């Protein structure tokens, strides 16, 4: 058969265990649609980073709502990721991917039409459900098509696409809000045609065998509901505790107590479910457990940096959204360079651990350097700090997934990929909310102190950043200057906290067992049926 033809699993020569073997050209044909969809997904996640100050000002949103516009998508994506991953193992991965793509398109169209902040947050959650499918199933499909030893080479492409999309997303968002006849709504509507094209390419190019071939394909809906409820309760407490209600209040007791009860119930349900959303045997594996711990810092780096750096450049330094996007380019170039170069080296030497350890160490250094950012820090220093952090993220992001995939059967690759993606997204989601709450408290304290120390500035009605409009330009000029300086002097504290988390992740990575990458698929029975 010519390699120019689109291959089906039945056309392929059988590999070990009868699993199909694809040629490089056939793999690249499959990747074309996957990478386009991944590009769209990551642009959708980052396009609002520099547009958010404009969007929140237009809709009259507060600092608290500012973070929820971001975390609504991450929360929905995080909660749905293990569901999509498990369904991909039970059913057809291509079908699940296209369903997720359709949900993403619907959420994007609705988000662009939102008339209030509350509607935007709700529609961003729908968008996030689709994103959960696209992010987790891309890794699962790659893991079902490419043996582990070769996978580093191709996963380098996914890392490169993520990096490029993360660079391009803020630029696109900045450009759209800066062009008067387009506006912020096109930050969401622009994703619709690109996602539709990606779906068309996948429909033609992607031919996948049935996920697991199991007769019993019952989905663990109770486990899905419990994990969603537990994550939501925790994030609501993080978002509102300390200003909407006291830490020692009954609301805190209800939310944290509810989270603990739901988590315990979830573990009990998963231990008895025939097809658990998160297989406990998988989480108990040392490689997976340590990779989960390490993924938390990567999540904070991926999501937190784009959110808070974008806000720093615009709110504190007064740059336009487009300029802010350009200033974040060094960090994303670091992600791009290390993803491509290290991905190829991993496949060449057949080992992943040395690169993950080195990347984790670099990430600690990068976050520590970014902890020195202040209101008047020279821009070239911020660029260098971001470049170092980006190198660390790029070296660890894909290789942690690869390490876990290398330790499981090909039948469980969907669940394994989803577990790592889930906890990476969860780390980013919780990280943004925790850091956002710390940030708001720190900025509020600095604003109050500096206004009290000044003369003739007046309070301008600014007492709590959580309830303050993000339209800084509407404040009296002296007050606006104080607010901008408070934002600028507070952001470094967030990255120092991230550096501490990254240090814990480095320790976890050091204890991961170094295993050579398998040259062929492990087609043994699924781990949850052994």
Are the CB atoms for 418 and 364 separated by under 8 Å? no
Q: Quick one: average pLDDT of 394-416?
A: 75
What values do phi and psi take at 14, rounded to 5?
-70, 140
Residue 329 shares a structural domain with residue 345: yes
* Secondary structure class of 285 (helix, strand, coil): coil
Residue 499 shares a structural domain with residue 440: yes
Lowest mean pLDDT among 40-54, 223-237, 330-344: 40-54
Are the CB atoms for 126 and 72 separated by under 8 Å? no
Counting every residue, how long is the chain?
Answer: 530
Query: Would you place residue 209 in the very low, low, confident or very high pLDDT band (cuts 50, 70, 90)?
Result: low
* pLDDT for residue 17 is more than 50: no
* pLDDT for residue 210 is more than 90: no
CA–CA dist 38, 161 (Å, integer): 7
Contacts of 85 (CB under 8 A, 6+ apart): 136, 137, 140, 414, 415, 416, 417, 418, 419, 421, 422
Look-up: residue for tokens 């060094």? 330
Give domain status of residue 82, yes or no: yes
* pLDDT for residue 315 is more than 70: yes
Strand partners, 20: 14
Give domain status of residue 375, yes or no: yes
DSSP 39-107: HHHHHHHHTTTTTHHHHHHHHT-BHHHHHHHHHHHHHHHHHHHHHHHHHHHHS-HHHHHHHHHHHHHHH
Look-up: residue for tokens 């209800």? 254
Are the CB atoms for 336 and 394 separated by under 8 Å? yes
What per-residue confidence (pLDDT) applies to 3? 37
* Secondary structure class of 14 (helix, strand, coil): strand
Give domain status of residue 49, yes or no: yes
Residue 444, both tokens:
């509020």
Residue 151 shares a structural domain with residue 161: yes
CA–CA dist 521, 530 (Å, integer): 17
What per-residue confidence (pLDDT) applies to 373? 92
Residue 299 shares a structural domain with residue 431: yes
Selected residue with higher pLDDT from 262 and 406: 262
Q: Quick one: average pLDDT of 38-62?
A: 76
Residue 160 shares a structural domain with residue 282: yes
Share the mean pLDDT of the chain.
77
Residue 116 shares a structural domain with residue 60: yes
Give domain status of residue 386, yes or no: yes
Q: Domain limits at 192?
A: 19-206+275-524
What per-residue confidence (pLDDT) applies to 58? 81
Give domain status of residue 91, yes or no: yes
- The DSSP code for 427 is H
* pLDDT for residue 11 is more than 60: no
Lowest mean pLDDT among 27-36, 175-184, 349-358, 462-471: 462-471
What 350-355 contacts at long range (C-beta under 8 Å, 24+ apart), as own/partner pairs, is 350/149, 350/516, 350/517, 351/514, 351/516, 351/517, 352/152, 352/399, 352/402, 352/403, 352/406, 352/514, 352/517, 353/403, 353/509, 353/512, 353/514, 353/515, 354/514, 355/395, 355/399
Residue 317 shares a structural domain with residue 343: yes
Look-up: residue for tokens 């019993």? 216
Q: Quick one: average pLDDT of 334-358?
A: 83
What per-residue confidence (pLDDT) applies to 372? 92
Are the CB atoms for 416 and 440 separated by under 8 Å? no
Domain count, the chain: 2
What per-residue confidence (pLDDT) applies to 366? 92
What per-residue confidence (pLDDT) applies to 379? 92
Lowest mean pLDDT among 295-309, 431-445, 462-476: 462-476
What values do phi and psi take at 460, rounded to 5?
60, 15
What 401-404 contacts at long range (C-beta under 8 Å, 24+ apart), as own/partner pairs, is 401/139, 401/155, 401/291, 402/148, 402/151, 402/152, 402/155, 402/346, 402/352, 402/517, 403/287, 403/291, 403/352, 403/353, 403/356, 403/512, 403/515, 404/287, 404/288, 404/291
What per-residue confidence (pLDDT) applies to 469? 53
CA–CA dist 75, 122 (Å, integer): 11
- The continuous run of DSSP H or E covering 384 comes out as helix 379-405
Give domain status of residue 5, yes or no: no
Selected residue with higher pLDDT from 221 and 208: 221
What per-residue confidence (pLDDT) applies to 260? 93
The CATH number of the domain holding residue 424 is 1.20.1250.20
What per-residue confidence (pLDDT) applies to 149? 65
CA–CA dist 460, 455 (Å, integer): 13
Domain boundary among 236, 257, 274: 274
pLDDT per position as a tens digit, 212-260: 444 455 667 888 788 888 878 887 787 677 667 787 889 889 999 999 9
* pLDDT for residue 383 is more than 90: yes
Contacts of 31 (CB under 8 A, 6+ apart): 142, 154, 157
Selected residue with higher pLDDT from 392 and 57: 392
Residue 255 shares a structural domain with residue 287: no
Cα–Cα distance list, 336 to 271, 283, 310, 330, 381 (Å) = 40, 29, 19, 10, 20
Nearest to 48 by CA among 103, 120, 106: 120
| Greatest C-alpha distance within the chain | 81
Give domain status of residue 117, yes or no: yes
SS (H, E, C) 113-130: CCCCHHHHHHHHHHHHHH
What per-residue confidence (pLDDT) applies to 368? 93
Find which of 165-169, 402-406, 493-497 is predicted with most confidence, using mean pLDDT. 493-497
Residue 126 shares a structural domain with residue 57: yes
Residue 267 shares a structural domain with residue 350: no
Lowest mean pLDDT among 159-173, 323-337, 354-368: 159-173
C-alpha neighbours within 13 Å on the C-beta side of residue 515: 19
CA–CA dist 431, 238 (Å, integer): 10
CA–CA dist 203, 512 (Å, integer): 38
Residue 370 shares a structural domain with residue 452: yes
Q: Quick one: average pLDDT of 360-375?
A: 92
Contacts of 17 (CB under 8 A, 6+ apart): 521, 523, 524
What per-residue confidence (pLDDT) applies to 301? 65
Give domain status of residue 8, yes or no: no
Are the CB atoms for 14 and 20 separated by under 8 Å? yes
Burial code (b: 16+ CB inside 10 Å, e: under 16) for 54-65 equals bbbbbbebbbbb
What per-residue confidence (pLDDT) applies to 8? 40
Q: Quick one: average pLDDT of 82-97?
A: 77
CA–CA dist 429, 73 (Å, integer): 9
Residue 347 shares a structural domain with residue 491: yes
């Amino acid at each position: 058969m010519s390699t120019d033809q689109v291959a089906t699993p039945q056309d392929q020569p059988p590999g070990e265990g009868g699993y199909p073997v694809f040629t490089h050209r056939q793999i690249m044909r499959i990747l074309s649609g996957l990478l386009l969809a991944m590009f769209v997904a990551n642009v959708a996640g980052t396009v609002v980073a520099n547009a958010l100050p404009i969007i929140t000002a237009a809709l009259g949103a507060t600092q608290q709502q500012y973070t929820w516009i971001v975390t609504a998508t991450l929360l929905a994506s995080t909660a749905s990721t293990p569901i999509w991953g498990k369904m991909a193992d039970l059913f057809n991965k291509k079908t699940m991917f296209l369903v997720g793509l359709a949900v993403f398109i619907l959420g994007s169209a609705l988000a662009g039409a939102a008339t209030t902040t509350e509607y935007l947050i709700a529609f961003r959650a729908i968008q996030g459900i689709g994103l959960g499918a696209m992010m987790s199933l891309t890794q699962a499909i790659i893991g079902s098509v490419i043996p582990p030893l070769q996978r580093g080479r191709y996963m380098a492409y996914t890392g490169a696409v993520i990096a490029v999309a993360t660079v391009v997303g803020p630029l696109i968002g900045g450009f759209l809000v800066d062009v008067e006849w387009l506006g912020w709504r096109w930050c969401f509507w622009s994703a619709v045609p690109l996602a539709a094209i990606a779906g068309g390419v996948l429909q033609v190019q992607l031919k996948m065998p049935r996920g697991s071939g199991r007769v019993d394909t019952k989905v663990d809906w109770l486990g899905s509901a419990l994990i969603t409820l537990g994550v939501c309760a925790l994030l609501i407490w993080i978002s509102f505790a300390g200003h909407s209600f006291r830490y020692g209040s009954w609301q805190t007791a209800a939310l944290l107590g509810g989270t603990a009860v739901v988590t315990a119930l979830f573990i009990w349900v998963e231990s008895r479910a025939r097809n658990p959303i998160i297989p406990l045997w998988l989480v108990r594996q040392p490689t997976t457990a340590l990779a989960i711990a390490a993924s938390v810092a990567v999540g904070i780096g991926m999501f937190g940096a784009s959110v808070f750096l974008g806000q720093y450049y615009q709110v504190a330094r007064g740059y336009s959204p487009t300029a802010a996007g350009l200033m974040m380019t060094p960090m994303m170039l670091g992600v791009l360079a290390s993803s491509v170069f290290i991905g190829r080296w991993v496949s060449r030497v057949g080992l992943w651990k040395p690169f993950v350890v080195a990347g984790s160490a670099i990430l600690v250094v990068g976050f520590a350097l970014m902890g020195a950012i202040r209101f008047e820090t020279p821009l070239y220093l911020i660029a260098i700090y971001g470049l170092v952090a980006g190198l660390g993220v790029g070296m660890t992001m894909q290789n942690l997934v690869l390490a876990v995939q290398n330790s499981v059967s090909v039948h469980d690759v969907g669940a394994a990929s989803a577990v790592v993606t889930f906890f990476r997204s969860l780390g980013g989601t919780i990280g943004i909310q925790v850091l956002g709450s710390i940030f708001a408290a720190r900025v509020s304290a600095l604003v109050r102190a500096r206004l009290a120390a000044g003369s003739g500035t007046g309070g301008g009605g600014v007492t709590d950043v959580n309830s303050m409009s993000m339209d800084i330009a509407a404040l009296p000029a002296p007050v606006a200057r104080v607010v901008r300086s408070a934002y600028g002097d507070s952001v470094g504290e967030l990255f120092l906290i991230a550096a501490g988390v990254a240090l814990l992740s480095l320790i976890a990575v050091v204890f991961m067992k170094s295993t050579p990458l398998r040259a062929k698929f492990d087609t043994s029975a699924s781990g949850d049926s052994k």
